[in-house]
Every structure is written in structure tokens, then in C-alpha cells.
Amino acid sequence: MKLSGWGRFPVQETTRLCPRDEAAIAPALAAGPLIARGNGRAYGDSAVGARTLDMRAFDRMISFENGLLVAEAGVLLADVIATFLPRGWFPVVTPGTKFVTLGGMIAADVHGKNHHAEGSLRDHLAWIELIGPDGALQRCSPTENAELFHWTVGGMGLTGVILRAGLRLRPVETAWIRQTTHPAPDLAHAMALFEQNAGATYSVAWIDCLATGPALGRSLVMLGEHAGLAELDARRRAAPFETPAKRRRSVPFDAPGRALNRYSVRAFNGLYYRAGQRRAGTSLVDWDSYFYPLDAVLHWNRIYGRKGLVQFQCVLPLARSEAGIRRLLKEISAAGHGSFLAVLKRFGAQDSPVSFPMEGYTLALDFPVSDAVLRLLDRLDPIVAAHGGRFYLAKDARLRADTLRATDPRTEGFAAMRRAQGLAPAFASFQSERLSL
């Protein structure tokens, strides 16, 4: 069958395996290399291989005590929130969609709008259970089989099949977020706002990637805090975990290939920035709107047309972030291939053998797939390399192996470990083959 990631590019031929229980995984492993896959929300080909192991049947939440959730890898984050938010618990780290599985979050070591303060998912995992190439189950944690734990969290599913995990949740008093929006007229102001608000729990900026001249990098910086019970009015305080029901919208078909162009994106960005200026200040928003605005539109990836989309996400070290992001934005603006989904976040320090984050700023942009866009991304890669940055493999669909090694010296150590531990012949995705992992 044909299969792709969320970006719908590239589309690959695969044999899909759908085990129903743990006993079925070892025979699948014995038959040849494979890669585990969750809900298909990785953008590119990291969760598609010649043989793809669909883990969505492993969707049981097993226990919950004192904030520690024990669950199988195929459990959706959306189901975790639906079950535990009404009881006053919320994930400490969440990516920008709730339609991801726990196993996928671990494989990518996802980060959220609070990495600067609370790290990535690995910092909130008590342990994981992993099935190795011989079919044996191992428990790994920061203190038990620690080396394998650190290679696995962020290892893109290339060290084994993640079966179960213990994940810590955070207590919250309400389902509301106190959001403060700051318009920033240029990149320097936006980055200054991040630094001045380093104590905020959550921070993220939408950035106008087509703005030029003095407005280069103009942004809307949005800060967030979990609202306390005392911050709600009497009506909301009576039911602090209830939020307004929303009508789900959907993109029913692929948009025309030329619908997203420099003119439509520039017009959207201008309108969105001015609307943000009018919304400046503090307000209460529900958790779904703050953390998962894109989830409100089902199949939003169809907006990018039949050819699909690619996301470019890099992180640049703190001292070189502003210079590097300026060069990236100038190149993108000059090419005219704007993105209306352009996001800037501040990362804190992180020590890991494979995970994506480093202390600095991360920039993420979506583009419709075309030959011209792929050539643009090839021109952005050397800018990231020249500024000491690296790339997020959960979003990658087109990086070259030499670029990855040039930007992330840890790569060769990861590949050598896979060879030494006999993992390379057992776990392979189209991405791992393309990147010689």
C-alpha cells in the first residue's frame, strides 16, 4: 500500500503490519526490518518504512496514581487530555497537535511552548518499555538501562518498538489559559519580548516570514499561564474544566495547487498581524484554542494541495539565533515562498545524545511542495549550518545525509551505536535510509 506522513510527501510503498497484542510483535520483527508508527502525524517519512508497524491497537491507559500515567504507546494525547483534564491534570509537555500517540511523542522527544522552562518530554518520563530486535522487552529510565533510554527518547523509533511508558502529568485548577499577546514590530523586538518574559510558563510567536525592511520578523508573541480558580468569573468557576463546545470544521478536498502563493500569503499575514495588534493584551482562552488551534480544522493539510507540504524546522544556538533567523527570513522573503504557519519559540538548555532542542531559538515554517520550494530549502540548509544550528527529524522529509552530519555531530555516534547494538538491521524507516542512520 501507499503511505505518507502528515505532510503527504513523500508517498512510499510499504507493507503495513497491524499487531493486536504484544505477542505478535516479536514474529513481525523476526521477518525483517520495520519501523513503528503511531497516528501518522510526523510530517515526512520518519514513520514509514518498507515494513511499517501500526501501533494504534495498543491504546490502553493502564493506571494513574499521584500524577503518573501508565499507558500503552498507541494512546492518543487527545484521549489523555479528555480523561484527565476533568480530574485536574494536564500534560506537562505537548506538541502543537493533540492527535499524536504517546509512542510517537517519545520517539520524537516532542517539545512545547514551555521548553525554555520545563524541557522536552524526556524530562517528564518516568520510564519506557521497549521491545528490542530479539523480541525481548526491556524497561529503561534515567536510572535503569539509562543509555538505551537516552538513545530512544528522540531516536525516531530506531532503537526498538516502544510499547508502554510512565508519563508524569501536572495538576491544574482550570481548563483555561491566561494569554497575553504582544505585537512586535520586528525580529529584535520579538526576541527581546521572549527574553524579558523568560519567567512565563508558555511563550510562542507567530512570525510574518514575508515582511521585509524595518518590519523583517514582525511577530505576535503570545505568553500563557494556567489560570487559577480565582481568576475565573462565577459562571466559569462553577465548572472550571468545562469549555465551550466547538463546531469542528474540515477541509473536504485538496485546495488548488496555486491557492497559496506570495500574494495570498502576504495578504493573509498582513491581516493576521493587524488583527493581533487589535487583540493585544490579556484574556482567558480555553486550553484547546491555546495549545491546538490547528486541530480545530480537520484535514488542514489539504490546504496545501495534492502535492502536500513540507515543514522546515531548525534550532539555532542562542548567540547566533538573531543573525541566523534574519538571514533565513531574508532568503524566504526574497524567494516569495511565504508560509502563514511560521512559528518562533525559545528553547532552554538540553543535554541529550539525539534530541532536537538546544538552547536558542527554533523557527518552523510550512510550505506547499514544489520544485521551487525544495530548491529554496536547499538554500536554507547552509544558513542553518553556518550558524551552528540543527534540524528536527520529526518534521523532516527531504534533508540530505551529509547536511545532517555537518549540522549535528551526534549523528555519527547514533549510527555507530545502532550498528554496534544490532539495531540497524532491525529498525529502518525511509528517513533512516535516506540519512544513513
pLDDT of residue 122: 97
pLDDT of residue 263: 74
Q: Looking at the predicted structure, is the pLDDT value of residue 28 above 80?
A: yes
Alpha-carbon span 282 to 150, nearest angstrom: 39
CA 28, 29, 32, 38 dihedral sign is: positive
In a domain, 340, yes or no: yes
Compute the C-alpha angle 412/404/385, nearest 5°: 120
pLDDT of residue 181: 97
> What is the identity of the amino acid at 25?
I
**pLDDT tens, residue by residue, 380-412:** 999 999 999 999 999 999 999 999 999 999 999
When pLDDT is averaged across residues 30-42 and rounded to a whole number, the result is 97
**Residues paired with residue 2 on neighbouring β-strands, in sequence order:** 13
**CB within 8 A of 421, min separation 6: which ones?**
159
In a domain, 317, yes or no: yes
**pLDDT tens, residue by residue, 249-283:** 767 666 665 666 777 777 788 888 888 888 899 99
Alpha-carbon span 200 to 181, nearest angstrom: 12
Taking CA atoms, 385 is separated from 316, 388, 436, in Å, by 9, 5, 19
In a domain, 375, yes or no: yes
**pLDDT tens, residue by residue, 113-153:** 999 999 999 999 999 999 999 999 999 999 999 999 999 99
pLDDT of residue 167: 98
**pLDDT tens, residue by residue, 82-108:** 999 999 999 999 999 999 999 999 999
In a domain, 244, yes or no: yes
Number of compact structural domains in the chain: 1
Of 54, 152, 20, 167, residue with least CA distance to 102: 167
The answer to whether the beta carbons of residues 373 and 331 sit under 8 Å apart is: no
User: For residue 170, what is its C-alpha cell?
Assistant: 501536572
In a domain, 436, yes or no: no
First to last CA, the chain: 24
Of 108, 113, 59, residue with least CA distance to 91: 113
**Could you tell me the pTM of the whole model?**
0.96
**pLDDT tens, residue by residue, 141-189:** 999 999 999 999 999 999 999 999 999 999 999 999 999 999 999 999 9
Range of the domain at 358: 176-399
In a domain, 188, yes or no: yes
User: For residue 262, what is its C-alpha cell?
Assistant: 506570495
Phi-psi region of 422 (alpha: psi -120 to 50; beta: other; left: phi over 0): left
CATH for 381:
3.30.70.2520
**Residues paired with residue 12 on neighbouring β-strands, in sequence order:** 3
Rounded to the nearest angstrom, the gap between the alpha carbon of residue 303 and the centroid of all alpha carbons in its chain is 19
User: For residue 204, what is its C-alpha cell?
Assistant: 510562542
In a domain, 260, yes or no: yes
In a domain, 219, yes or no: yes
